[in-house]
């Protein structure tokens, strides 16, 4: 099949990855059917051969000099190194001798995996070297001059989040407390990394593996050579195995398939299927409708759309929405506390066992190890599912509003402090990075750009006049200090703190869109700094349909509702069992299907949006408010729950 993807005008090629599972295989020479466990065993033999060679390469090249040579991009003769890691290592003469009879493509996979690991270590090496060069007098608290010095010493330190430097400083401090000295470099600080048992088939060609689509667009056939024994002694111990693969529905029928990466998961072989397909191009500038996204704690996301008019005015499109995930986050924090307790108990067992070869607690320590791994897997799966759900909701909001760009608040450098130990931990362990990554992945399918904007003063200033807001606990208690409700002393705007923040984020992104740049390392679009001249234009103009009224509960809050007119003509009588009397509405409330599930009061937040039924959201815990755009104007206030 052709590996070149045809592109039309206004399209670009996008490479993505989907998960697959190899359930069986067929040995082509004998026609023997291989079950999933037998296939996993043979793939494991090949992965063990590769991981052994990778470990040998890393043990030999895990030092500053070799990493710098590989990352420089040129060889000893001054010629440019190839982009493929295995080709670059062969150009440098970094080879490895296998311990069994393998073909050259198996060695390629080992060199590719080792080369990627060494290249990834270059950034950590430069970061650690810059921190060690400018080691502060007090590692727990740097001065302003020390922060400037460390950012100057680290490549790209001007835009590096402070949390990255702080976490690396803590790692160096722990090494210093243990050895009474500073480490020489990152290679002494971290040591040789662990080797994953994977097969990078992308480093091979048709002599080792190949993949083709079948007549059914939802299926493909993967062919690869696998050993018939753990230590093959000749090429006769390698046979071709054909593995049918069911493609996920996210893989388009016109996509070009690439060789996957195989990894072992207990008795199963999972395949990371890479494919390339055509998507609309994303634009850095020229946006008129944008979606602003603000982060919260229990209300994980608050989002709404804004429109930039020809005269430069910015108005909101609807009243926005919220993605509430308090139930899921509560479960996440419960698992975190459970994991911390297990780790503390395991450390206590380690102190009791000490260096004893045979101890009565050794078996219990192994049970704790398995339980810790199980809890960690549950936390990882929960975070992954929550990230996909939140990202899907944000992208759907943008599609519904007709937005061409999503402006996300950049909180990479945020450090949770001064709000209590529990609150700080919850803020630090939210999955913001995963949500943004998956948001970029989903938005690229429809040509929507995702841009991060600075978070400075987005929740502090009024979206309509940029005057500092007064934050209160709730609208019915305007004199009680708090952080949730915001009141503007100048223009009298008031609303939820997060609702005002997404207005500020969307307006800032629309006015600063000419300052959008693409990061060379990650390829993400970002607005790095705020320009004061452009910031003065980032104000939201109230529309004619929006009226702000007092929410302090000091006067009547409900308008008198006129009595609805009676029916002029009564409905015809029908002789049906259980029919309500004419002129009267049914008192039976029909609940969604998911609302009938048996749930306790502790499985979800105690605050329920209007119209949201328990069990109707993700994991039976999440409530995503539906969007309300131009056809439903906000005639009550600037804050609506939108359920």
Query: Do residues 275 and 296 share a domain?
Result: no
Query: Do residues 239 and 306 share a domain?
Result: no
Query: Do residues 461 and 329 share a domain?
Result: yes
* Least reliable range by pLDDT among 220-229, 391-400, 470-479: 470-479
Query: Do residues 239 and 309 share a domain?
Result: no
Helix (H, G, I), strand (E, B) or coil at 621: coil
- Residue 637: predicted pLDDT: 39
Query: Do residues 365 and 253 share a domain?
Result: no
- Residue 353 in domain: yes
Helix (H, G, I), strand (E, B) or coil at 269: strand
Measured at the CA of 569, the angle between CA 566 and CA 575, to 5 degrees, comes to 110
**What integer is the mean pLDDT of 247-271?**
91
Q: Would you say residue 622 has pLDDT above 80?
A: no
**What integer is the mean pLDDT of 616-637?**
49
Query: Do residues 267 and 299 share a domain?
Result: no
- Residue 25 in domain: yes
Print the SS3 string covering 161-211: CHHHHHHHHHHHHHHHHHHCCCCCCHHHHHCCCCCCCEEEHHHCCCCCEEE
- Residue 413: predicted pLDDT: 57
Query: Do residues 227 and 343 share a domain?
Result: no
Instruction: Among 259, 279, 299, identify where a domain stops.
Output: 279
- Residue 471: predicted pLDDT: 87
Between residues 624 and 256, which one has the greater pLDDT?
Answer: 256
Q: Would you say residue 145 has pLDDT above 90?
A: yes
**Long-range contacts, stretch 471-477, CB < 8 angstroms, 24+ apart:** 471/497, 475/551, 475/552, 475/553, 475/639, 476/551, 476/552, 476/553
Percent of the chain's residues with pLDDT above 90: 56
* Least reliable range by pLDDT among 76-90, 363-377, 417-431, 460-474: 417-431
With beta carbons less than 8 A apart as the criterion, state whether 11 and 281 touch.
yes
Query: Do residues 460 and 527 share a domain?
Result: yes
- The partner residues of 452 in beta bridges, in order of sequence, read 408, 526
- Residue 596: predicted pLDDT: 41
Helices (H) and strands (E) in the chain, counts: 13, 22
- Digit-coded pLDDT (tens) for 491-529: 888 888 888 999 999 999 999 999 999 988 778 899 988
Query: Do residues 340 and 421 share a domain?
Result: yes
Residue 208, domain extent: 11-135+182-279
pTM of the entire structure? 0.76
* Torsion of Cα atoms, 401 then 513 then 302 then 494, to 10°: -100
Q: What is the count of structural domains for the chain?
A: 2
- In angstroms, what CA-CA distances link 628 with 37, 51, 287, 446, 611? 51, 54, 21, 21, 14
Query: Do residues 392 and 517 share a domain?
Result: yes
């Amino acid at each position: 099949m052709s590996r070149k993807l045809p592109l039309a005008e206004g399209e670009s090629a996008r490479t993505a990855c989907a998960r697959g599972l190899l359930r069986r295989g067929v040995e082509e020479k004998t026609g023997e059917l291989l079950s999933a466990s037998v296939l996993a065993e043979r793939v494991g033999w090949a992965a063990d051969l590769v991981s052994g060679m990778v470990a040998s390469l890393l043990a030999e090249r895990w030092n500053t000099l070799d990493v710098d040579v590989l990352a420089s991009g040129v060889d000893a003769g001054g010629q440019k190194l190839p982009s493929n890691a295995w080709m670059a290592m062969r150009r440098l003469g970094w080879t490895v001798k296998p311990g069994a009879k393998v073909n050259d493509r198996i060695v390629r996979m080992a060199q590719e995996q080792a080369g990627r690991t060494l290249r990834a270590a270059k950034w950590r090496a430069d970061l650690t070297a810059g921190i060690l060069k400018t080691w502060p007098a007090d590692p727990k608290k740097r001065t302003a001059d020390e922060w400037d010095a460390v950012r100057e010493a680290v490549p790209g330190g001007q835009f590096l989040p402070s949390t990255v430097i702080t976490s690396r400083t803590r790692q160096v401090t722990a090494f210093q407390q243990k050895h009474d000295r500073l480490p020489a470099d990152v290679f002494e600080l971290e040591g040789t990394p662990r080797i994953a048992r994977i097969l990078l088939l992308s480093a091979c060609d048709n002599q080792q593996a190949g993949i083709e689509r079948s007549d059914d667009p939802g299926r493909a056939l993967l062919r690869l050579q696998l050993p018939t024994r753990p230590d093959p002694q000749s090429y006769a111990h390698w046979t071709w195995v054909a593995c049918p693969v069911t493609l996920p529905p996210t893989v388009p029928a016109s996509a070009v398939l690439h060789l996957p990466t195989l990894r072992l998961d207990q008795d199963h072989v999972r395949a990371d299927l890479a494919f390339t397909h055509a998507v609309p191009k994303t634009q850095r500038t020229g946006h008129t409708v944008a979606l602003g996204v603000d982060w919260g704690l229990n209300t994980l996301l608050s989002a709404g759309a804004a429109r930039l008019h020809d005269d430069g005015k910015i108005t909101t499109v609807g009243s926005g929405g919220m993605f509430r995930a308090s139930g899921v986050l509560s479960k996440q924090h419960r698992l975190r506390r459970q994991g911390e307790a297990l780790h503390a108990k395991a450390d206590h067992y380690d102190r009791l066992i000490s260096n004893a070869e045979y101890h009565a607690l050794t078996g219990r320590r192994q049970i704790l190890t398995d339980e810790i791994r199980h809890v960690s897997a549950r936390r990882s799966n929960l975070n992954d599912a929550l990230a996909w759900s939140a990202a899907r909701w944000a992208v759907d909001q943008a599609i519904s509003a007709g937005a061409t760009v999503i402006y996300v608040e950049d909180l990479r450098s945020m450090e949770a402090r001064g709000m209590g130990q529990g609150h700080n931990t919850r803020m630090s362990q939210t999955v913001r990075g995963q949500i943004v990554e998956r948001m970029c992945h989903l938005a690229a399918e429809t040509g929507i750009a995702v841009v991060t904007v600075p978070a400075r003063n987005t929740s502090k200033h009024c979206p309509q006049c940029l005057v500092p807001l007064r934050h209160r606990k709730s609208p019915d208690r305007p004199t009680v200090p708090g952080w949730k409700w915001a009141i503007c002393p100048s223009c009298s705007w008031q609303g939820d703190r997060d609702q005002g923040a997404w207005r500020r984020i969307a307006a800032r992104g629309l006015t600063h869109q000419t300052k959008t740049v693409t990061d060379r390392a990650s390829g993400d679009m970002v607005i790095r700094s705020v320009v004061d001249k452009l910031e003065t234009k980032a104000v939201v103009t109230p529309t004619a349909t929006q009226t702000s009224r007092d929410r302090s509960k000091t006067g009547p809050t409900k308008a008198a509702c006129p009595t609805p007119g009676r029916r002029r003509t009564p409905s015809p009588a029908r002789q049906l069992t259980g029919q309500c009397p004419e002129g009267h509405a049914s008192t039976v409330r029909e609940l969604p299907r998911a609302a009938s599930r048996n749930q306790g009061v502790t499985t979800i937040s105690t605050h329920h949006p209007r119209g949201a039924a328990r069990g109707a959201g993700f994991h039976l815990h999440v409530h995503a408010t539906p969007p309300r755009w131009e056809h439903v104007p906000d005639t009550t206030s600037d804050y609506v729950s939108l359920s």
